Structure 1
Amino acid sequence: MSRVFARAAVLALSITVAAPALAAPQAGADMILTNARVYTVEARQPWAEAVAIEDGRIVAVGSAAEVGKLRDADTRVVDLGGRLVLPAFGDAHVHPLFGGLSRSRCPLQDGKTIADYQALIAKCVAAAPGDGAIYGVGWSDALFPPNGIPRKELLDAVTTTRPLIFESVGGHTYWLNSKALAVANITRDTKDPPNGTIDRDPATGEPVGSLQEAAMELVRHLIPPPSAAEIQNSILYVADHFNRLGIVSWNDAGVDFGDDGGSAMVDAYKAVMDAGKLTSHVTVSLKWKNERGMDQLPSLLRAAERANALGIPTNTVKFYVDGVIPQKTAYMLAPYQNSDERGAPQIAPEVLKQAMVAIDARGMHGFFHAIGDGAVRLSLDAIEAARKANGAKPTWHMVTHLNVVDPADQPRFARLSTFAQFQPTWASWYDYMDLTVAAIGPERAKYIYPAGSIVRAGGKLAYGADWPVGSANPLEGIEVAITRRTAGDPNARPLLPDEGVSLKEAIASHTINVAIVNGFDKITGSIAAGKSADLVVLDRNIFDLPVYQISGTKVLLTLFEGKPVAGAWADVDAGSGR
């Protein structure tokens, strides 16, 4: 029997350790990974010893003896020396362009103090002669207590002759110097735009140097737009960075599109894919334009149709329902602590419901940025409206961030078949959490990132780092998801430790659950016959480690469609050879 016909015969078989031998005749697999601890994330067969790969796909999973029957003279056998094998990880929330530009245009991520930021910016100004604006990303809200709002005087100390525009690590705030305010003609008389705030001195009304949410658009024209090459390089940077972390699936969470359905980001993915350099399964979420209403639906649908025709899966719409808590732009059910403010939704609730009903009816998925408990409720209400209007449909929906979730809404994720998407490492951002607690008060602070409660109520989690806002390292995320403490530090202050999840839940939420929300669960996310050979080999077995050592575990090898995209066979082969 030819190898092609043999592959077709065994493609649907997943050999369990106790399974009978495969029926003869057999042909050899291209490769067998053996002498391993294989955690499949498959309930029917969670553990195995070996995996056979043919043409980039898994053709058998089971005991070393049974899978070894697929070996012939041309089969490469890799002895993993007892190492742990997991499905390659996925990420349900990534911003590749924002992340790529944040590393190429005056990055501030390495700064730990305001003085660090000033020194980094001064170097960028010196390296770019002329009078154009200097743009960068990466300052932390936590360095500007009590509300995360920086002032222009700190940037004026660097230069008053060049516009300086620096975006927060979370992407919700611009920090400007006086020159940028002047060039953009932003004065005490400039009105706040819808869904945006010009931060002002309470005594004088003068702009202090920070713009929130939609107010950022007032200076966007001063920032040079990225070139096609910059966009492609951002994708390549992310692919390489993620592959090294064991990630081969991601969701680009908020891509812009034009009225004609065109998208520079989709075109860049197509170019990278055609060059054979897109070493991950990638899906795109189209960004709902809050400044418009239902009139944008036809162009959104054209954009999705065009992207899918180009081979870039695009079946999700990203809604930005609110802002962030420290600056009080997140939408809360009740006013902030010691305040009459409660924030405001950035999308009218009825428009949000109409949009959800419309896209759900077309088999598309909703993806909601919701940080305040009010925004979470609005998101779930919109999903509920779609479920009632359209009946049971094979659509998943997802709410991300969930900084605060009212107890009444926690069981709704299960009832509405909606995934809760947390950024697990955020539970260890103590300075940011302190700003959050100060803003919302101690009672609501009991419901920050309630992952464990949502799981206990029957809900499912799908993790997304919101990279570059947070670390994309899945092993760090797995540990913090369990401990709710700083990775590697058993003595760190925990954030609501009862909201931690189990190791198996954390792994599933970085693998198969991400594959489901990314639309790739038929081809990746678990180790089963017929799926793409997307695997990671770790240097230690995280099931046997003290939990505070999980984050220190290294990915030795990442396979995408059966080929190494990070690491090498020599890093893992204990020496069995061919």
Structure 2
Amino acid sequence: MKPSFALVLAATLAAGVSTTAIASDRVTADTILTNARIYTVDKAQPWAESVAIKDGKIVAVGTRAKVEKLKGKATRIVDLGGRLVLPAFGDAHAHPLFGGLGRTRCPLHDGRSIEDYQRMIAKCVADTPGNGTVFGVGWEDSLFPPNGVPDKKYLDAVSTTRPLIFDSIGGHTYWVNSKALELAGITKDTPDPANGSIDRDPETGEPIGALQETAQGLVGKLVPPPTDAEIQNSVKYVAEHFNSLGIVSWNDAGVEYDDQGGSRMVDAYKAVKDAGDLTAHVTVSLKWQNERGMEQFPGLVKAAERANALGIPTHTVKFYVDGVIPQRTAYMLAPYEGSTERGKPHIDPAMLTEAVVETDRRGMHAFLHAIGDGAVRISLDAIEAARKANGVKPTHHMVTHLNVIDPADQPRFGALNTYAQFQPTWSSWYPYMELTEQAIGKERMKSIYPAGSIVRSGGKLAYGADWPVATANPLEGLEVAITRRTAGDPQARPLLADEGVTLETAIESHTLNAALVNGLDKVTGSIVTGKSADLVVLDKDLFKLSPYEITKAKVLVTFFQGKAVYGELEALKP
């Protein structure tokens, strides 16, 4: 009986023999991409000329002569004419539901002024029958100087008869009108909730129309929940959008669940996957509920077990340790400029440590949102406690955002084998940075997004865009990571130019390292035999471009499991 392809491949890999040595009458490729510059992100073989694909897997990588030995009568040979091929990109931090709904429920992302927002919102009100809430997402903090806090008067100018509720692009602040405040019963006498605040007029104490962090929940009953169809459509939208950017794997960073382990988001992923529309490897991070304690762990474990059983990998717990800097909800080591306040951690440090130790003990990864240098420190302290309590475990903890990292804490990432998860496009001067500098001063701006210092001190990076907070385009991220300037603008002011990284480091951070923290490094993230055939073909060679021209490159074709999920193979003809 002739052995199956799977058995032949497994035996060959076990023997340590390259599949290029297999006789073509036993294994023949479905597709061979050849005459290419293939950057594999594999230290054992960084560059290759050809790659062979069979049944969605990579079966050979190497020279053109060797790989083409796997050619059969039905093999499709695609001559790339010297084009660059990379592993398909991964993203270690995305919010598909937030982003997907933000594109369908009165999106404000394209607004460039308060007047723009008012026009957009007025149209949404006119287009939405009835008297219910009009909800949207996408306003920019920087359009509300000096501290990124919006005022209800701009919404009241649009409508005082319907509740208007709009989430910021970062998801940390609601902008609401007077009607929303009235229906929610929010007055000057309403106390601030734990880990949240109602912005108030300094003279009268009246709410001005901005709700920070957990205070968003005060109007939660007015926001219509998404339907199952809306959640599924958000997943499909993100898959298509990410595929167009060369991305075929992501981490959904903060999925809700109940104490019985149920999760509407996991159910949506399952439904989309079963329909054949999930053209990506997806893992989800379960959201730690800051208002609760360790009693939530049984429900969290049930949710993880259920998701894994449904084929939606789950191995990560997402902790929101603090807020954001412009609104001064991020936790800092020293007070904000002109203030005695330094923000507060959203999780008691002792509770955070206990939870991270338990997460690590169970073999799960801790994923910590930490923006202020104080939040970064207590996050690293918790990880250090876990390493000491549990010994060496194959857990890949990561801290995300990292707007400010005290110099004393920068070497700890390498020492603790903890990934620094930056949003690479944030590492440039733009209006948000102006608000940040006003809040923390020039001295602490010397420690902002110190990616280069992390790498030089032995740490590793993993990139995740935090989409839709920032563009998910990896090519923009690579350019900014290297240049520390606004993508496409070589004349822009750099943000600590010495903190840039090399192209090789940036690519690894957006491919193999992203796959690793997503728990997918055995599946994707590099071009090696046995992995999923997840590839991206570019029209320009990044290694031959000026760093300031990387965003001029375009994705021609994105492959997921050996199939083109964006672009056409015909477009690859030289």
Do Structure 1 and Structure 2 share a fold, with TM-score over 0.5? yes
Which string of whole-angstrom CA distances, capped at 9 and with x for unpartnered residues, describes residues 210-262 of structure 1? 00000000001100000000000000000000000000000000000011110
Shift of 1:9: 5.0
Change in 2 beyond 3 A, CA 1:498/1:12? farther
8 A contact 1:244–1:555 mirrored in 2: yes
Shift of 1:573: 3.0
Aligned to 1:240: 240
Aligned to 2:430: 430
Matched, 1:122 2:105: no
Aligned to 2:368: 368
Count of residue correspondences: 572
Aligned to 1:312: 312
Matched residue SS, 2:103: helix
Read off the aligned partner of 1:517 and give its amino acid letter.
V
Matches of 2:170 and 2:58 in 1, distance apart? Answer: 39
Equivalent residues in 2 for 1:25-104, closer than 5 Å? 26-104=26-104
Which string of whole-angstrom CA distances, capped at 9 and with x for unpartnered residues, describes residues 529-572 of structure 1? 00000000000101001111101211000000000100011011
8 A contact 2:429–2:494 mirrored in 1: no
8 A contact 1:324–1:330 mirrored in 2: yes
Structure 1 segments (4+ residues) deviating >6 Å: 12-16
Matches of 1:375 and 1:13 in 2, distance apart? Answer: 48
Shift of 1:12: 6.3
Matched residue SS, 1:441: helix
Change in 2 beyond 3 A, CA 1:71/1:173? same
Read off the aligned partner of 1:409 and give its amino acid letter.
D
Matches of 1:284 and 1:358 in 2, distance apart? Answer: 19
Equivalent residues in 2 for 1:380-395, closer than 5 Å? 380-395=380-395
Equivalent residues in 2 for 1:149-168, closer than 5 Å? 149-168=149-168
Matched, 1:468 2:450: no
Read off the aligned partner of 1:28 and give its amino acid letter.
T
Equivalent residues in 2 for 1:458-497, closer than 5 Å? 458-497=458-497
Read off the aligned partner of 2:165 and give its amino acid letter.
I
Matches of 1:85 and 1:312 in 2, distance apart? Answer: 28
Change in 2 beyond 3 A, CA 1:316/1:532? same
Which string of whole-angstrom CA distances, capped at 9 and with x for unpartnered residues, describes residues 411-433 of structure 1? 00001100000001012351100
Which string of whole-angstrom CA distances, capped at 9 and with x for unpartnered residues, describes residues 58-100 of structure 1? 0110000011111121211111111100000000000000000
Aligned to 1:210: 210
Matches of 2:368 and 2:149 in 1, distance apart? Answer: 25
Matches of 2:24 and 2:207 in 1, distance apart? Answer: 78
Matched residue SS, 1:513: helix
8 A contact 2:20–2:69 mirrored in 1: no
Aligned to 1:445: 445
8 A contact 2:108–2:136 mirrored in 1: yes
Aligned to 2:508: 508
Shift of 1:14: 8.8
Aligned to 1:357: 357
Matched, 1:110 2:104: no
Matches of 1:509 and 1:110 in 2, distance apart? Answer: 29
8 A contact 1:167–1:174 mirrored in 2: yes
- Identity percentage of aligned residues: 70
Matches of 1:274 and 1:129 in 2, distance apart? Answer: 35
8 A contact 1:12–1:529 mirrored in 2: no
Shift of 1:13: 8.5
Equivalent residues in 2 for 1:292-331, closer than 5 Å? 292-331=292-331
Equivalent residues in 2 for 1:121-140, closer than 5 Å? 121-140=121-140
Q: Cα RMSD between the aligned structures?
A: 1.5
Aligned to 1:518: 518
8 A contact 1:367–1:399 mirrored in 2: yes
Read off the aligned partner of 1:299 and give its amino acid letter.
G
Aligned to 1:420: 420
Unaligned runs of 5+ in 1: none
Read off the aligned partner of 1:402 and give its amino acid letter.
L
Matches of 2:508 and 2:27 in 1, distance apart? Answer: 33
Matches of 2:24 and 2:284 in 1, distance apart? Answer: 44
TM-score in terms of structure 1 length: 0.97
8 A contact 2:255–2:287 mirrored in 1: yes
Read off the aligned partner of 2:327 and give its amino acid letter.
Q
Aligned to 1:182: 182
Matches of 2:265 and 2:37 in 1, distance apart? Answer: 39
Equivalent residues in 2 for 1:222-301, closer than 5 Å? 222-301=222-301
Matches of 2:397 and 2:169 in 1, distance apart? Answer: 26
Change in 2 beyond 3 A, CA 1:24/1:532? closer
8 A contact 1:10–1:60 mirrored in 2: no
Matched residue SS, 1:219: helix
Unaligned runs of 5+ in 2: none
8 A contact 1:14–1:529 mirrored in 2: no
Aligned to 1:220: 220
Matches of 1:154 and 1:285 in 2, distance apart? Answer: 36
Shift of 1:22: 5.3
TM-score in terms of structure 2 length: 0.98
Matches of 1:555 and 1:2 in 2, distance apart? Answer: 38
